[in-house]
């Protein structure tokens, strides 16, 4: 920050604001959660706004433009899918509010970030409750049209499947398809 003090530094600022950035500066953040919170505007009026909680930072009030950018980056309109997304924020001096150029925060669009695949940690074992559920899933006539390999791929997203168990499930699938 420069040695001069912006007048807004003396106001109660619970959220990150454009005046906290040096000219041309960008800051990186990670989204922790998205909520709807009561926000007090400069005129003292309280409104419900979308607020993004950021890791190791004050939260950021999110307008519809910035929300649309996050949606594009996350590949999802659902705020729960935005958690963990890394965003870059900078100041756009051309932003208008109530017809007046006031400047404001903008999230910089970056190509959608691929979701990290969670590794299956539970082993599917013969006779277990999970195994019984897998048998029901594999033998369900509504799932038969997907084919055995597609069904196994879906199960592998949740379970480690030993070759012996896969063979058992294949037999069950084939018998159910008869």
The pLDDT assigned to 26 comes to 94
d(Cα 17, Cα 6) in Å, to the nearest integer?
Answer: 11
The pLDDT assigned to 61 comes to 93
Q: What angle do CA 96, 102, 103 make, to 5 degrees?
A: 85
The pLDDT assigned to 112 comes to 62
Averaged pLDDT, 18-42:
89
d(Cα 147, Cα 125) in Å, to the nearest integer?
Answer: 22
The pLDDT assigned to 14 comes to 86
pLDDT, the chain, mean: 85
Averaged pLDDT, 61-84:
91
Lowest mean pLDDT among 22-36, 52-66, 77-91, 151-165: 151-165
pLDDT tens-digit map of 94-151: 988 788 998 889 999 887 655 556 666 788 888 888 888 888 888 888 777 778 888 8
The pLDDT assigned to 117 comes to 60
* Between 10 and 22, residue with greater pLDDT: 22
Residue 154 in this model has a pLDDT that exceeds 70 = yes
d(Cα 123, Cα 156) in Å, to the nearest integer?
Answer: 10
* Between 34 and 96, residue with greater pLDDT: 34
| Residue 118 DSSP label | P
């Amino acid at each position: 920050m420069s040695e001069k003090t912006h007048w807004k530094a003396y106001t109660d600022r619970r959220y990150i604001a454009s005046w906290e950035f040096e000219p041309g500066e960008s800051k990186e953040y990670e989204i922790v959660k998205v909520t709807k919170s009561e926000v007090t505007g400069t005129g003292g009026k309280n409104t419900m706004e979308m607020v993004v909680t950021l890791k190791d930072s004050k939260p950021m009030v999110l307008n519809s433009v910035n929300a649309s950018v996050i949606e594009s980056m996350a590949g999802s309109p659902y705020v729960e899918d935005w958690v963990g997304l890394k965003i870059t924020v900078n100041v756009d001096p051309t932003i208008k509010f109530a017809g007046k150029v006031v400047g404001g925060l903008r999230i910089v669009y970056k190509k959608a970030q691929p979701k990290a695949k969670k590794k299956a940690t539970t082993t599917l074992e013969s006779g277990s409750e999970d195994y019984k559920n897998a048998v029901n899933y594999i033998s369900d006539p509504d799932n038969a049209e997907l084919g055995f390999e597609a069904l196994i791929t879906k199960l592998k997203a949740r379970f480690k499947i030993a070759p012996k168990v896969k063979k058992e499930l294949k037999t069950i699938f084939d018998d159910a398809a008869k």
